[in-house]
Copies of this chain bind each other. A is one copy, B any other.
Amino acid sequence: MGARSEAAGYGDARERPDCAAARRRRLSVDRRRDELMAAALELFGARDPDDISIDDVAAAAGASRALVYHYFGGKRELHVAALRRAAAGLERRPPPMDGGCPLDALAGALARYFDFAEEHAAGFAALLRGGGAGRGGEVGRIVEGVRGELFASLTRRLPVREPGALLRVTLGAWIATVESAALDWLEHRDVERRALERLLVDQMVATLTAAARHDPEASHVLHNLKNDR
C-alpha cells in the first residue's frame, strides 16, 4: 500500500527514470512502426504491390531491411498492418450525430470521409482497391469492416433499426457510390471536392426516391429525411 502510493506519487511529480526510458523506447518503436507503415501505404497505394520490395519500403522510410522484417515479418504482413491502420483511421472518422437535420449530418459525414480520403490518399485507395495485399481474406475483411461501420452510422442517422431488403440494398449501393466517387476523385481530381460531396448527398435523396416507388420503408425514410430538412 505504502509502496503503491509512493510509486503513484513519484509518477505524478516526475517519472521514474527507468519508466521514462521504457516509455521513450516504446514511443520510438511505435513511431518507427508508424513511419514504416506510412511509407508502405504511400508505395503500395501508388504502385503495383508486386513491384515493391521490402528494400523499397525500407529506403522510403530511411530504415534498414532488417528492421522492416523485425517489425512486420514480411511484405504482406506490413501491407495488411498498414491497411488496417488506414481502416482504423476511417472507422474513427464518422462524426457525432447529435442535433442538426439528417441531410446536414450526412453532408458532414461525407466531408469527413473525403477529409480522410484526401489525407490518406494512397492508403485509402490501397484499402478500397484491395489490390494485392493478399494474405487470404484479411483485406476483404478490413474493407467489409469499414463498410459495415459506414452502414451502421448511416442507419443510425436516418434512423432505421433493421432495414428491410430493398432499403438495405439501396443504402449499401449508396455507400458503393461514395467509395467509387472517392476513388475517382483521388485518381482524376478534376471535380471540385465540395461539388462532389453535394452531388453525393443529392444522389442519396435521388436513390431513396427511386427506391420509395418500390418499397414503403424507403418511402418512410425519405419522408423523414425531407421533413426534417
Contacts and interface: CB of A to CB of B under 8 A. Distances in A.
Contacts of A50: 135-138
A225 interface: no
Chain B CB count within 10 A is highest, among A51, A191, A203, for A203
Interface in A166-195: 166, 168-170, 172-177, 179-181, 184-185, 188, 190-191, 195
Interface residues of A, number: 51
Nearest to A164: B190
Contacts of A132: 134-140
A133 interface: yes
A219 interface: no
Interface in A104-142: 129-141
Contact of A169 (B138, B173, B185): B185
A199 B211 contact: yes
A163 to B, nearest CB: 11
B185 A214 contact: no
Contacts of A168: 184, 188
A135 B132 CA distance: 6
A200 to B, nearest CB: 8
A166 to B, nearest CB: 6
Contacts of A184: 168-169, 172
A170 B180 CA distance: 9
A97 B180 CA distance: 26
A8 interface: no
Given A169-B184, A190-B165, A135 B136 contact: no
Contacts of A211: 199, 203
A49 B179 CA distance: 25
B48 A199 contact: no
A166 B191 contact: yes
24 contacts: A48-B137, A50-B137, A129-B140, A131-B140, A131-B141, A132-B135, A132-B136, A132-B140, A134-B135, A165-B190, A168-B188, A169-B196, A169-B199, A172-B180, A173-B176, A175-B180, A176-B177, A176-B180, A177-B207, A195-B214, A198-B214, A199-B210, A199-B214, A202-B210
